[in-house]
A and B are shown apart, each in its own frame.
Chain A
Amino acid sequence: AQSVTQPDIHITVSEGASLELRCNYSYGATPYLFWYVQSPGQGLQLLLKYFSGDTLVQGIKGFEAEFKRSQSSFNLRKPSVHWSDAAEYFCAVGAMYTGNQFYFGTGTSLTVIP
Chain B
Amino acid sequence: EADIYQTPRYLVIGTGKKITLECSQTMGHDKMYWYQQDPGMELHLIHYSYGVNSTEKGDLSSESTVSRIRTEHFPLTLESARPSHTSQYLCASSEPGRTGELFFGEGSRLTVL
Which residues does A use to contact B, with CB under 8 Å?
4, 9, 32, 34, 36, 41-46, 49, 51, 90, 92, 95-96, 99-107
- Is there a chain A Cβ closer than 8 Å to B74's Cβ? no
B104 lies within 8 A of chain A by Cβ: yes
Distance in Å: Cβ of A30 to nearest Cβ of chain B: 11
User: A92 CB to closest chain B CB, in angstroms?
Assistant: 8
Known interface pairs A44-B90, A49-B101. Does A104 touch B42 (Cβ–Cβ under 8 Å)? yes
A106 close to B104 (CB less than 8 A): no
Size of the chain B interface, CB-CB below 8 angstroms: 26
In the A-B complex, the 6 residue pairs with the smallest Cβ-Cβ separation, listed nearest first, are A43-B104, A96-B98, A104-B43, A44-B104, A104-B42, A43-B106
Shortest Cβ distance from B51 into chain A, in angstroms?
A: 12
In Å, the complex CA distance between A41 and B90 comes to 11
Closest A residue to B39 by CB, please name it.
Answer: A107
Are A42 and B42 within 8 A (Cβ)? no
B41 touching A106, Cβ below 8 Å: yes
* Bound CA–CA A106/B59 (angstroms): 15
Interface string of B88-113 (1 = CB under 8 A from A): 00101010001111111111000000
B43 to chain A: closest residue by CB: A104
Residue of A nearest to B10 (CB): A41
Q: A43-B107, A100-B100 are in contact. Are A105 and B42 (CB under 8 A)?
A: yes
